[in-house]
Structure formats: C-alpha cells, structure tokens
A and B are shown apart, each in its own frame.
Chain A
Amino acid sequence: MKTVGLRTYSVSPAEFPLELEVTAVRLPANRAIVGHARVSKDGVLLERLVPTIVEDPTALAVRFKIPLPANPPASFDITQTVDCWFSDNCPPDARYHFVIKSKNGDESTTTVRVPTLNPGAANLAFRVG
C-alpha cells in the first residue's frame, strides 16, 4: 500500500483485506460513524460494501475491515467516508486518529481534528489495480 495523495492510497488486490482503526483522543467516547465502502470504476458505482464494525469502548476505538469485492474488475476505486463527531466542550487538541493497515503490513495514518461544525469528515480513497 502506498500513499499517493491526500488520504488516497494505491493498493494491490493481494493486500486486502485492509484493516482500519479509528481512535478517539481527548474525547469522552469514540463517536466515529463509518459509512459504506463504495466500489466504483471510472466514476460509476459498482457496489456498496457494508462494514462490520468492532467497537472497543474502553480503548475509545472502532475497528473494521475493507475486503476485496467479489468479482472485482482489473482496476477500480474504493472510497469510504468516516464522520467524526466531537463533544461541545472538547479541548482544542481533541482528534480522531486513523491507522490503515494492509495485509502485507504497510501502515498509513491520518487525523481528523475538531471541526467548526460537526461532523468532521474523512474521505478515504483506495485505488486498486
């Protein structure tokens, strides 16, 4: 897995499934809401993958996987939106820390900081091929 742009990653099919962990920092609870993974080719939506979320309230973390779609084309894109909700009185350095791991151990991170207006969105894009 290589980072090829802002929150944009190049992934080979052999690196699936991708494992994602979102951890809330300086917040009372993890309130990250994970959207469906959208599989598309040339801008045309092919499939939606419903994520299975594993919550770990003690660690303020949520974990989920992005599997390789069934019958995938030779090259395609997967995009996923994660909405991160913050408390009204959270400190200025409250944040959600994302860790993205591929099957071969590559790892990438990104951060969602306190937004002016809830939720703080993160759009992740994976270019597969």
Chain B
Amino acid sequence: MKATLVVLCLALSPALSVAQETSVLALEIGRLARSPDGDDDLIVELRDNLWKVVYLSAGQAEVAEILTFRRADVQAGAGSGASGTTSAVLNPLLPAIFGVAFEDGAITRSVSGSTISLKVAPAGLICASRPLAAAAVARRDEEACKTLWRRVGVTASFDTKRGEKSPKLEDLQTLNNQFASLTVRAEVLNLRTATGRRYIGTFQSQFTSWKEKAAAFVAIERDTPEVVKAQALVEERLLALVKQPDWKGKAVDKRADEIKAIIKGAAALVTVPDAQATRVRDAWLAALRADRALQNAVANAPVLTAEYAFERPDLATEPLGTVVPEGIRPPSLHSARAIYAQGLTRTSLDFTANVSLSWFSDVRPGMSGSFRDFKAGINGTFRLRDLSNYGAPALSFAALYMYLHQEPLGLGLVEFNDAEVNEPGHIGVFQAKLELPTANNAMRIPLSFTYSNRTELINETDVRGQIGISFNLDALFVDKK
C-alpha cells in the first residue's frame, strides 16, 4: 500500500508543478494574448522573466508568501451622520473623483431611511475634465492633478425617504426636503501618497532595507547558460507564434494556451542545480519580504483630515418638544471634525480616530444654547488577505462615545436613526463591520453589527444589524491595459 502511494505521488507532482508554473507570468501572458499584433515589448517581458518559472518549478510555498495587501481605506458609504449608514467612525480619505453610495435596509424590524451621498473632489473633477486624465485622477495619481485643492472633497447627501411626504406637507418641494447635508473635507496630511524624494525620506529605513536586499538579488547570476538558451527559445517561438497568419483570428484564451505551452516547453529544458535554485529563491524571498515591509509602511502612514459639515433637518412632522412646532424646519447643524488614521507597522491593523463638535445655527426659545453634542470615536480595521481578482476584505471594530447636551431637534443621533435620542446624556456605541469586495473592488458589501447601551436614556438596549451596498465609481474610470 505504501509503495502504491509513492508511485501515485511521483505521477502527480510534475503535473501539479507545471500547472502552477505559468501563474507567475499570468499578467504578462494575458497582455500578449490580448495583443492582436503580438507587440515585441510584450514578448520580451516574457523572455526576460522566464527565470521566475524556472526557479519556482519547485518551492511553491515561497510563492504563496509574496501575497500582498491592497489598500482598503477608501470609503464610499454615507457619513456616520446619515440615516441607514453602516459606518460608525468616518474614514479620512474620500474617493478621488466621484463616489455614489446607496445604502438601504436594516435587517431588524426598523428601516431607518435611505441615503444617497454624492462625494466630489472639486479639483479632481476639474483635472479629470482634461482628456485622458480621468483614469489618472481616479487612481489618486499625484501627477494628474497638481493643485493644492486636490486634497479637498465635498459631499452632498440626500435622504430619499424625505420625498415620501405626509399629506400635511404636500405643498413643499421634494428636492428641498431631500437635501440632508453638505460636507467639506480636506486632507491636511497624507503621507500615503508621498512620491519621489518625500517617499524615500518618509519611509527611509524600510526603503533602505528593501534596496539592499533587491541589490543583493540582482547581483546573483540567475540567468545561467541553460536559462539563457531557454530565453532565446521562448523569444524565437513567441515571435513565430504571433507572426502566424491565424494569430489575429484566434480567441484570447487559445492564444494564452499556446503562449503557456511555449513557456512550459522552454522551462522544462532547464535544469538548475539545487544550490543555485536555493540561492536565487532565498535572495528573492528576502527582497520580497523587504518590499512587503515597505508597502506596509506606506499603507500604514498617517493621514489627518479636517472636516466641516452643514446638516439640514427635515421639516418637523410633529412638534419637537417646545422648540420646533409641526411643519417648521428645525435649526440647521454645524459640525467640525478631525479625523486621524495611522496603521501599525508590521501588522495589517489601521486605526482611525475622530473627534467632533456640533452646534446649532440658531438658538430658539426653549434651547439651552447652541452647543449640541461632542463625539469621540476610534476604529480599528484589519486588512485581510487579498482575494484574487477581488481585493482585500476589511474587518473593523469601532467604539464611539457621544455626549448630547440637548435635544437633537430633527437630526437624530447619527448611528441610531431608528432609535432616536431625544434626551441629553452620555451614549456609547460599539460596531463590528466586515466589508467584502467584489470584482475589481468596484463594489464593496459591508456587513455590520452595532451595539448601543444607553439605558439611562431610553430604558432599553438596542441592537441593530445593517446591510448596505456601496459603489466606488473610481474603479469604473480606471482603464485596463
């Protein structure tokens, strides 16, 4: 029985190895397969990277180690103040061009409302109006929009449920009712987008470490005479392949299969001594690890954002205490907020902290001054491992403390629109949230669990689950090549 198992393993292992080999050139193969003219530059990049297939024909465990993290810190959902939101603590970064988010539907008995938010970076839109610049702006390309205003974002939110007026308010304009808030946000500090000399200076220790290891790797003679022969063979055969009369007419998948066959065939002719293969893989892995440390340092760099928000409540459908009679709009609300985000180096944990202050635009009889509330929140986001072709899911935990000085007068408290707080006091909120990416990260699905303990205010404990869908339209502007 034991002998049978050994034979089986010997028979299976070469096939497994071959199946995995060309995956390390997947992008390069795809580019050539999609090229009807068989661009020389696409052929040569396969030739010059053939060594990856050769040295990874064994040692696939090392390949798995180079899986990297994607940034998961662009939030397309409504702000924490909007109804039906799945966000307890705001994220400091705005989508670069234009994000439209629609979140709807609590999974418990209460549906608090629907919020459509439009997020615009004015400078980004101005720059994106130039031909070919839209995709670059969506990628937050610093070169695409060289202006100080590129770090300013404006968000306007509209609550669609406000259009469902009661008969008593039918004479009022729907659009005017739906306007909920206007937010201006500016990225005061964002080291995650550092470039050039600033990039090297900011991440100096990680950059130096990576550079040393990358230099040690390039110094190794990885192109042995056998590898060079295989490279020449790949070049010759690929050039012949793309010059075949039927190349243009073939399906992309068929082309890709033929390219893979050529690569596998050439790589199979190369025998690398174990010592040489180990030396190359060890140096490569060391460089890749150092590169990952550098990427993590960039992803975890601090971001500081300042925000001002103007919120306009809906017309009162019933009297709000003694301050706002029925059919009258409560006073608008101003809020100032600072948002700070920083990751912990060598981890996948990103912290975000918010502090905010809110005050009413006017003081009416029955109000105890203009001050409304103070909030402080902290959020920890774990960037999970990448899902191939999808992006990285993000698991976050948030805690929020609020002090409500007086009645909120129509705007409710931001996290619990379906459990309106009308009495002053202290409020604590805890939220756990899992954001699942979809293809190309164009849509992320947040699942959240929120707990609020404010029994001294409403004599009950409220637990609410929320499912929302966010669309990040930036992804639609990114061209594929």
Q: Which residues on A are within 8 Å of B, measured CB to CB? A: 5-7, 26, 28-29, 31, 33-36, 43, 57-60, 81-83, 85, 87-89, 91-93, 110-123
Residues of A contacting B478 with CB < 8 Å? 91-92
Q: Is the CB of B214 within 8 A of A33?
A: yes
Given contacts A6-B40, A29-B195, A112-B45, contact A117 B139 (CB under 8 A): no
Residues of A contacting B142 with CB < 8 Å? 28
Scan B465-481; emit 1 where CB is below 8 A from any A CB, else 0.
00000000000001111
Q: How far is the CA of A91 from the CA of B194 in the complex (A)?
A: 16
Candidates B71, B135, B218; contact of A83 at CB < 8 Å = B218
Q: What is the number of residues of chain B that contact chain A, defined by CB distance less than 8 Å?
A: 58
Candidates B44, B139, B200, B295; contact of A110 at CB < 8 Å = B44
- B386 to chain A: closest residue by CB: A88
27 contacts between A and B (CB under 8 A): A6-B40, A6-B44, A28-B195, A29-B207, A57-B196, A58-B197, A60-B196, A82-B218, A83-B217, A85-B214, A88-B295, A91-B139, A91-B141, A92-B479, A111-B41, A112-B45, A113-B45, A115-B28, A115-B45, A116-B27, A118-B66, A119-B217, A120-B49, A121-B48, A121-B49, A123-B48, A123-B231
- A82 to chain B: closest residue by CB: B218
- B39 to chain A: closest residue by CB: A111
Q: Is the CB of B479 within 8 A of A122?
A: no
**Distance (whole angstroms) from the CB of B415 to the closest CB of chain A:** 30
Candidates B40, B68, B218; contact of A88 at CB < 8 Å = B68
Residues of B contacting A28 with CB < 8 Å? 142, 193-196, 199, 298
B43 interfacial by beta-carbon distance below 8 Å = yes
B457 interfacial by beta-carbon distance below 8 Å = no
Given contacts A7-B48, A83-B217, contact A88 B70 (CB under 8 A): yes
Q: Is the CB of B480 within 8 A of A92?
A: yes
Residues of A contacting B200 with CB < 8 Å? 29, 57
- A93 to chain B: closest residue by CB: B481
Residues of B contacting A81 with CB < 8 Å? 218, 223
Q: How far is the CA of A6 from the CA of B23 in the complex (A)?
A: 23
**Distance (whole angstroms) from the CB of A100 to the closest CB of chain B:** 14
- A110 to chain B: closest residue by CB: B41
Residues of A contacting B480 with CB < 8 Å? 92
The 9 A-B pairs of least Cβ separation, nearest first, read A6-B44, A57-B197, A35-B218, A29-B199, A116-B27, A88-B68, A91-B139, A33-B214, A28-B195
Q: How far is the CA of A54 from the CA of B189 in the complex (A)?
A: 30
Q: Which residues on B are within 8 Å of A, measured CB to CB? A: 23-28, 31, 40-41, 43-45, 47-49, 51-52, 63, 66, 68-71, 135-136, 139, 141-143, 193-197, 199-200, 207, 210-211, 214-215, 217-219, 223, 225, 231, 235, 287-288, 291, 295, 298-299, 478-481
Q: How far is the CA of A10 from the CA of B197 in the complex (A)?
A: 36
Q: How far is the CA of A104 from the CA of B96 in the complex (A)?
A: 46
Residues of B contacting A59 with CB < 8 Å? 196
Given A35-B218, A92-B480, A121-B51, 13 extra CB contacts under 8 A:
A7-B48, A28-B195, A28-B196, A28-B199, A31-B211, A57-B196, A59-B196, A85-B214, A92-B478, A93-B481, A112-B45, A113-B41, A114-B27
- A90 to chain B: closest residue by CB: B139
Given contacts A28-B194, A33-B215, A87-B295, contact A92 B481 (CB under 8 A): yes
Taking each of B48, B141, B225, B291, which has the highest tally of chain A beta carbons within 10 Å of its own beta carbon? B48
Taking each of A6, A110, A114, which has the highest tally of chain B beta carbons within 10 Å of its own beta carbon? A6
Q: Is the CB of A118 within 8 A of B479?
A: no
Q: How far is the CA of A92 from the CA of B440 in the complex (A)?
A: 12
**Distance (whole angstroms) from the CB of B366 to the closest CB of chain A:** 52
Q: Is the CB of B47 within 8 A of A6?
A: yes
Q: Is the CB of B66 within 8 A of A122?
A: no
Residues of B contacting A6 with CB < 8 Å? 40, 43-44, 47, 235
**Distance (whole angstroms) from the CB of B16 to the closest CB of chain A:** 19
Q: How far is the CA of A108 from the CA of B118 in the complex (A)?
A: 47
Residues of A contacting B196 with CB < 8 Å? 28-29, 57-60
Q: Is the CB of B141 within 8 A of A26?
A: yes
**Distance (whole angstroms) from the CB of B348 to the closest CB of chain A:** 12
Q: How far is the CA of A43 from the CA of B226 in the complex (A)?
A: 11
Residues of B contacting A89 with CB < 8 Å? 70-71, 295
Q: How far is the CA of A112 from the CA of B27 in the complex (A)?
A: 12
